[in-house]
A and B are shown apart, each in its own frame.
Chain A
Amino acid sequence: MEVNVTVNGAQHRVDVEPRMLLVHMLRDRLRLTGTHVGCDTSGCGACTVLLDGTPVKSCTMLAVQADGRSVTTVEGLARDGQLHPIQEAFKEEHGLQCGFCTPGMMLAAAALLESNPDPGDEDIRWALSGNICRCTGYVNIVKAVRRAAGAMRQTATQAG
């Protein structure tokens, strides 16, 4: 079946089997390997991408379901060579160790900050609770999201 999908702003027409999972289309057909598979049962969130801005687990969605939609992966977070504030904050606050959960974690955080520019720790912890990290104990991830929120608010104020 043919899927017409926008991925990180670029139009793609991909011929896939109806049973192909979205994550496999992204990884194997479009070679966007930043999206990882951690559990195949929606349990870990490593495969999280944004579908029209909403976080979804791409291991539990068929590629054909993305037809006509817009997908953002970790490769689409940076714009024009400029890192997204989330990416900068994850590095600055040591919010990652092995890096495997990081793309999904950052995308879930980016979606949170779109809807809530000034989240408290509880908001952050709730928003990220579909994404498991085994390395960091979450403390520095929470700090990173807070830092990114601050940076984004500052940018918004300056722009306004």
Chain B
Amino acid sequence: MAVAEQERTVRGIGHSLRRHEDDRFIRGKGTYVDDIVLPGMLHMAILRSPLAHARIVSIDTSKAQAAEGVVAVITGADLAAHNLAWMPTLSGDTQAVFATDKVRFQGQEVAAVVAEDPYLARDALQLIDVEYDPLPALVDPHKALEPDAVLIRDDKEGQTDNRCYHWEAGDPRATDEAFARADVVVTLDTHYPRCHPSPMETCGIVADVNQATGQATLHMTSQAPHAHRTLFAMVAGLPEQNIRIKTPDIGGGFGNKVPIYPGYVAATAASLLLGRPVKWIEDRSENLISTGFARDFHMHGELALTRDGEMLGLRVRLVSDNGAFYADAQPSKCRAGLFHIVTGSYALPAAHVVADGAYTNKAPGGVAYRCSFRVTEASFLIERLVHNAAIELGLDPAELRRRNFIRPEQFPYTSATGFVYDSGNYEAALDLALQQVGYDDLREEQRRARAEGRLLGIGIASFTEVVGAGNHKDYDIAGIKMFDSAELRVHPTGKAILKIGVQTQGQGHETTFAQIVASELGIPPEDVLVQYGDTDNVPYGLGTYASRSTPTAGAATAVISRKLRDKARQIAAHLLEVSEEDLEWDTGRFSVKGAPDRAVTIQDVALAAYTNMPEGLEAGLEGVHYYDPPNMTFPFGTYVVVVEVDPGTGDWKVLRVVAVDDCGVRINPMIVEGQIHGGLAEGFGIAKMELITFDEDGNCIGSNFTDYLLPTSWETPNFECFATVTPSPHHPLGAKGVGESATVGSPAAYVNAVIDALGHLGVRNIDMPVTSAKVWEAIQQASR
């Protein structure tokens, strides 16, 4: 192969190609939703409830209506007149667009002002007079589930308590039998706290409805434009062909931009009624107090083991706090998401999970913050239990894991809760991590440090994820089956456009998806324009969350590229006047077997597809594929965190983070590593500082970045990343998805490290966020 040819082809899969999208972002020329200005555009601001639970007695909008610049004031009653006061959620519940009967959380949408100017819209909000009749606020999900608790969802027919769902997985009898045989049962009660994805860009929309044609163009911050279009059609009764969702550049999502928010619906209704474009951009406090939070799982775990460390069974009881509406996005069959991956990387023969969801007077959500449907909570629980089990048994935590890993020859492995793990080599990842961190030396150093009164801790997490939904039989969002799509159009000049059903929010799709085409079809990545996020332009897909882009649309891209390659082969045979069997394919080039100089390039073939087709062959080199994955993919890895705890203050510093990730084949290693860095930082934030909490009246504490703490460059540790590669056996590229591995796996590693530092003092648990104050308190209690 000539040097130039090699240069051209190697920038496909496996190459750390610099990102195409960066060229606009580094110049400040991205287009985020707030950058969009349309002629005649109005601005909407939302009035929110100051109370967590109250009946609405009256709303007087007359002063606001008369205020300068105000075009309209919209209340729930106005929406109800158009049957828009309530909307369906992606988890099959209903949610108030604007409250009509009562408010159910602080920050709930009550009314909106639409004005000529955003400042004037805000001014007029203060002139709306709402009279509330306060009700007791339920902030504790356990209390909410008590029989005499005040009913939050009295709007729902047949709802007699605050139970949002009840859900079980696994085999209770087999689990009881396993526990009966156990020498040791290790228990852990822990609250995975409510935190918030907090993408740097808040949510927003520019709704542009043409009253004459009924055509609605919605520029909005959506991680799932097609699913949102379908839901919009259902909620608004608009014909679906008249709804076009266009997603501009998105300033981060992390699950926060999966749900449909009342502001989107209200702005669309306002544009429809007023005949002018309407922009709504929430501020940060609105984002933090009303949009999809994450986690808030109260978990009780029991791990049954023999004395020599063989895991026998796992039992979990959990209560999830879902807030006032069940408004995350869980597949219909999985009410607690994919939490039943809680058996983790271990050959646990028996497990039983019981989950109950509670409505409370808090913001709705439970979205998967950089996580696949509650996998993060599951991974945290099992990895914390394993660490505590090691302490109880006097075993090294790495050794206890090693003894119980599902072995490579056991794959595909059916877990006790019903997942079929596609592949894995957990010990290889653990070994590499231990070697890179210098584990044995560190343990020695830890012993020496303890003798000097210093508290060094080493935390391990050997996590397993389940990502890339569907298959369509088991997974859906609001009834829409989970598959994804890619449409590839190769132009006569050999350049191409790839249209995908998934939606980047910073993951670099414009680069990686072009690299897939490059490897499969030999068209250089810079010749492939990747498009997404416009429902009129790209084929139907379910969007990007749950690390599903590469497992689903990435697979679709590979398959459609291969289909076009098959057609290209027919054309090449025609051009070279040989039969197809006589052709050899080498990325971007067909040559005649035994006569390598007789060859045509993919570009030659592309031109012929439009100018010189073989007789009887359909013109063009274009096609679309909808990929229904045969199974989920199961990325895994081992993270090792080393911390030092200050015994005087309880502050803990991270000294090392070694991360070994196995996400199968890496399409763009640079981008993969960037995803891991981000997840390790968010995991650090969750472990140490991120917390949305409430006082007893349901006032949200954590409504701005002074109260809701995010890690900055100063606190965030450096990360050392390594890879093992165990390809997915069923994915066409062997890839598994990686965007969320580090958020899923790392919190347990950070917390285990702190507990490891304090284990000899008798400390077994500190709930996240593991603040200095909590650590100090734990040290004080232990020494009493």
Chain A residues in the interface with B (C-beta under 8 A): 17, 19-20, 27, 31-41, 43-44, 46, 73-75, 77-78, 83, 87-88, 90-92, 94, 96-103, 106, 121, 124-126, 128-142
Q: How far is the CA of A11 from the CA of B666 in the complex (A)?
A: 49
**In the bound complex, do residue A94 and residue B718 qualify as a contact, i.e. CB atoms below 8 Å apart?**
no
Residues on B with C-beta less than 8 A from A133 are 200, 713
**In the bound complex, do residue A106 and residue B26 qualify as a contact, i.e. CB atoms below 8 Å apart?**
yes
B708 — nearest CB in chain A belongs to which residue? A43
Residues on A with C-beta less than 8 A from B719 are 137, 139
Given contacts A41-B704, A99-B506, 15 further A-B contacts (CB under 8 A): A34-B29, A36-B201, A91-B22, A92-B18, A94-B673, A97-B252, A97-B674, A100-B30, A100-B199, A102-B25, A125-B713, A134-B678, A135-B252, A136-B677, A139-B718
Q: How far is the CA of A32 from the CA of B37 in the complex (A)?
A: 12
A97 — nearest CB in chain B belongs to which residue? B506
Residues on A with C-beta less than 8 A from B26 are 74, 83, 87-88, 90-91, 96, 99, 102, 106
Known A129-B712, A137-B719: A33·B35 in contact at CB below 8 Å: yes
Interface readout for B29-40 with A: 1 if CB under 8 Å, 0 if not? 111101101000
Known A33-B35, A37-B34, A134-B682: A96·B25 in contact at CB below 8 Å: yes
Q: How far is the CA of A77 from the CA of B34 in the complex (A)?
A: 22
Q: How far is the CA of A141 from the CA of B251 in the complex (A)?
A: 17
Residues on A with C-beta less than 8 A from B531 are none
Residues on B with C-beta less than 8 A from A20 are 119
Residues on B with C-beta less than 8 A from A132 are 200, 705, 710, 712
**In the bound complex, do residue B507 and residue A100 qualify as a contact, i.e. CB atoms below 8 Å apart?**
no
Let me know if B706 is at the binding interface, CB within 8 A: yes
Q: How far is the CA of A77 from the CA of B26 in the complex (A)?
A: 9
Q: How far is the CA of A73 from the CA of B28 in the complex (A)?
A: 9
Residues on A with C-beta less than 8 A from B713 are 124-126, 128-129, 131, 133, 138, 141-142
Min CB gap A101→B, angstroms: 5
Min CB gap B747→A, angstroms: 14
Residues on B with C-beta less than 8 A from A27 are 34-35
Residues on B with C-beta less than 8 A from A99 are 21-22, 24-26, 30, 249, 251, 506
**In the bound complex, do residue B680 and residue A137 qualify as a contact, i.e. CB atoms below 8 Å apart?**
yes
Q: How far is the CA of A94 from the CA of B26 in the complex (A)?
A: 11
Counting residue pairs across A and B whose Cβ atoms lie within 8 Å, the total is 174
Interface readout for B647-688 with A: 1 if CB under 8 Å, 0 if not? 000000000000000000000001101100111111000000
Min CB gap B611→A, angstroms: 38
Min CB gap A98→B, angstroms: 3
Scoring A37, A46, A75, A83 by chain B CB atoms within 10 A of each residue's CB, the highest score goes to: A37
**In the bound complex, do residue B28 and residue A33 qualify as a contact, i.e. CB atoms below 8 Å apart?**
yes
Residues on B with C-beta less than 8 A from A90 are 22, 26
B681 — nearest CB in chain A belongs to which residue? A137
**In the bound complex, do residue A78 and residue B678 qualify as a contact, i.e. CB atoms below 8 Å apart?**
no
Residues on B with C-beta less than 8 A from A33 are 28, 31-32, 34-35
**In the bound complex, do residue A98 and residue B705 qualify as a contact, i.e. CB atoms below 8 Å apart?**
no
Known A43-B706, A74-B28, A78-B27: A134·B252 in contact at CB below 8 Å: yes
